[in-house]
Amino acid sequence: MWFLWFQAVSRLSHTWPIIHKAKVEAMTLDLALLRSVQHFAQAFKAKNVSLHVLVCNAAVFGLPWTLTKDGLETTFQVNHLGHFYLVQLLQDVLCRSAPARVVVVSSESHRFTDINDSSGKLDFSRLSPSKSDYWAMLAYNRSKLCNILFSNEVGFPQERLGP
Ligand SMILES: NC(=O)c1ccc[n+]([C@@H]2O[C@H](COP(=O)([O-])OP(=O)(O)OC[C@H]3O[C@@H](n4cnc5c(N)ncnc54)[C@H](OP(=O)(O)O)[C@@H]3O)[C@@H](O)[C@H]2O)c1
């Protein structure tokens, strides 16, 4: 245990001078509003900087049923669709910035649901359910399954994102 701790600290001490000099800037992004995602992507592109790692971490859990201004169930839009849209909008920047990565944070709970109907086809009504079909835990699990499916499929051409 101590050895692992020592290794971690010694690794950090190598990167500390870089971290110490890093310039950090916060930008606003509301994943529950597709227009906000668009504005964020435009504002980011206007900075003309590289994008090496995009971590899709934000999520909501256990919300009562609500629709976003875009007319979609909020858990689905915040946890999956907003990230999906953001990655599409920043795809060209990611490719230009190779080596680059998209990291999508999911949850083990994605295993406890599916989004197909009984014939095995994608059931769109399960993604953004009506109030009567809504259960917060299920909505979260489905959004986390979308995260997994998205990260499996996102694959930009390897040569464009680097090793
Ligand atoms: N915690 C767990 O036990 C657990 C387990 C498995 C997986 N995960 C996954 O790990 C990730 C992080 O979870 P966490 O527990 O650290 O979550 P958290 O503490 O609740 O933080 C969620 C973050 O998402 C942001 N967010 C919420 N709605 C947003 C919106 N509409 N637009 C933009 N950002 C929004 C929040 O921003 P504000 O602070 O500004 O509201 C907050 O920074 C999630 O993807 C979650 O599914 C968590």
Give the nearest ligand 1 atom to 30 CA: 32
Task: Tell me what percent of the residues of the chain surpass a pLDDT of 90.
Answer: 76
Q: Which of 34, 60, 76, 137 for a ligand 1 pocket mutation test, highest count of atoms within 8 Å of Cβ?
A: 60
**Domains of the chain listed by start with CATH number:** 31-161 (3.40.50.720)
In whole angstroms, give the CA distance from residue 128 to residue 71: 9
**pLDDT tens for residues 23-60?**
899 999 999 999 999 999 999 999 999 999 999 999 99
In whole angstroms, give the CA distance from residue 84 to residue 91: 10
Q: What is the b/e burial string over 46-84, where b = at least 16 CB atoms within 10 angstroms of the residue's CB?
A: eeeeebeebebeebbeeeebeebeeebbbbbbbbbbbbb
**pLDDT tens for residues 109-139?**
999 998 999 999 999 999 999 999 999 999 9
The single residue of 44, 76, 140, 150 carrying the catalytic annotation is 140
